[in-house]
Amino acid sequence: MSGHNKWSTIKHKKGKEDAKRGKIFTKLIRELTTAAREGGGDPDGNPRLRTALATAKQANMPADNITRAIKKGTGEIEGVSYVESSYEGYGPGGTAVIVDTLTDNKNRTVAEVRHLFAKHGGNLGETNCVSWMFDKKGFIEIEAKNAAGEAIDEDEIMMAALEAGAEDVKTEEETFQVYTDLPDLETVRSTLDAAGYTITEATLAKVPQNTVDLDRKQAEQILRFIDALEDSDDVQTVWSNFDIDDSILEQLS
């Protein structure tokens, strides 16, 4: 799970800057709209919308923005229809990369994704060329400090998550990362939320079965590549199987 752990940690550190640029809201609005379109506007009967709502609230998205996004999805107000697509290929160092997108123009999106793969020394491949290397899991990220600013005990969060139905818990610098079987994601999330833990993300994750170790040069290349992909409004999430030594990450931060 190292590839997902490392990128989640990096995203956590740069999340505030992304929020300032409005990038997080743009992606969350698309997810809310698509979830409501596919499963209806009632979160009680729509697990995907329930998860998107929880993520939007954790990102402090204004309630009016959330309501408009859902109404666009249900057709109550006019809105853009987004199409989900995934693109796969190889990045620097032979890393496997999956790019999940939500777009109103697939031709524009695939052209941009192909351009970014080529620009950063990668190759866009065919469907399923790397997705078989990843397992789909539920992923929940929790702040490592409580509301009073005190560090949460690792054993405490481990016990709480496992009792709620989680499969595994990883400890990172500023967060705990909880992995679940997909059907259990919402149950575990709601249980941990009710217990008072601060959840910063709850989503489907594509977790690599094995990882690729990168040297400093390759690490710089893959981080620039993924950052460029995530700068695209059409890109929702990027997954990869890279592993970067903590000493290299510290040099690059």
Phi–psi pair at 90, nearest 5 degrees: -120, 140
Which pLDDT value is given to residue 15? 53
Does residue 195 sit in the same domain as residue 231? no
The burial class, CB within 10 Å (0-12 / 13-18 / 19+), for 180 is buried
For residues 171 and 154, what is the distance between their CA atoms, to the nearest angstrom?
Answer: 7
Does residue 160 sit in the same domain as residue 202? yes
- Lookup result for tokens 């993924």: 226
Does residue 94 sit in the same domain as residue 180? no
Which pLDDT value is given to residue 239? 94
Cβ–Cβ < 8 Å for 109, 103? yes
Q: What is the CATH number of the domain that holds 55?
A: 1.10.10.200
Of 201, 210, 154, nearest to 179 by C-alpha is 201
* Number of alpha helices (DSSP H) and beta strands (DSSP E) in the chain: 9, 10
Does residue 8 sit in the same domain as residue 94? no
Does residue 117 sit in the same domain as residue 229? yes
- Lookup result for tokens 């790397």: 130
Does residue 63 sit in the same domain as residue 108? no
Cβ–Cβ < 8 Å for 172, 36? no
Which pLDDT value is given to residue 70? 96
Regions of the chain where pLDDT drops below 50: 1-2, 12, 16, 20
Which pLDDT value is given to residue 2? 43
Q: Where are the beta strands (DSSP E) in 144-180?
A: 168-171, 175-180
Does residue 202 sit in the same domain as residue 219? no
Its pTM stands at 0.84
Which pLDDT value is given to residue 1? 35
Does residue 37 sit in the same domain as residue 87? no
State the total domains in the chain. Answer: 3
Strand 242-244, strand 212-214: pairing: parallel
Does residue 224 sit in the same domain as residue 186? no
Domain stops at, among 32, 49, 74: 74
End-to-end alpha carbon distance in the chain: 21
Which pLDDT value is given to residue 40? 95
Does residue 186 sit in the same domain as residue 142? yes
Which pLDDT value is given to residue 211? 92
Cβ–Cβ < 8 Å for 232, 226? no
Which pLDDT value is given to residue 218? 94
Q: What is the CATH number of the domain that holds 147?
A: 3.30.70.980
Does residue 125 sit in the same domain as residue 141? no
Quick one: how far is CA 191 from the chain centroid?
Answer: 20
pLDDT tens digits for range 201-212:
888 899 999 999
Domain housing 184? 133-208
Does residue 13 sit in the same domain as residue 48? yes
